[in-house]
Amino acid sequence: MDEGRLDTEPARLRGLLRERTADLQRVKAEYDNYRKRVHRDRMAVREIAAANVLRTLLPVLDAVDRAREHEPRTPGLKDITETLCTQLGALGLEAFGEEGDPFDPACHEALVHHVRADATRLTCTKILRPGYRTGPHLLRPATVEVTGPPPA
């Protein structure tokens, strides 16, 4: 009777070892997935927080742009402008909207539409206010004048 028990003991122990190893691998995989999910969530929260801060600073950028247009470029204003743009750029702020860009209603807001007979598509002809984005987040569409073909 004891010999039969001794023969089955190693097999039973191997089976228990396989079960515990599988359990350990499952727990490790769950923990790895949890760590990745937490990291991804933290990065998403960070991106959203940065986008919110950048969005609140857009009126400051607009005020600086207006000041540059209406006042002489003093060294102080130039330094403030360059520092502000550099620091906001380091946070991922990108300005967009150039004359000649094709009009895209997803990122442009047209205030004026000019018709030109020789135009083949809607094109941004004047940038009234630049648009801004950070990564995939659109913070503000560019406000533009567009020129395009006459309506069909």
Angle at 74 between CA 68 and CA 78, to 5 degrees: 60
Distance CA 131, CA 58 (A): 10
- How distant, in Å, are the alpha carbons of 16, 18, 49 from that of 13? 5, 9, 53
Whole-structure pTM value: 0.72
Residue 51 to residue 57: CA distance in whole angstroms: 10
Pair 43, 133: CB distance under 8 Å: no
Query: Which homologous superfamily does the CATH classification assign to the domain defined by 94-152?
Result: Head domain of nucleotide exchange factor GrpE (2.30.22.10)
Interacting residues of 148 by C-beta distance below 8 A, sequence separation 6+: 103, 113, 114, 115, 116, 119, 121, 122, 123
For residue 146, which of 99, 107, 106 has the smallest C-alpha distance?
A: 99
pLDDT digit of tens for each residue in the chain (152 aa)? 455 555 678 888 899 999 999 999 999 999 999 999 999 999 999 989 999 999 999 999 999 988 888 887 788 888 988 999 999 999 899 999 999 999 999 999 999 999 998 888 999 999 999 999 998 889 999 999 999 998 87
Residue with tokens 């909207």: 97
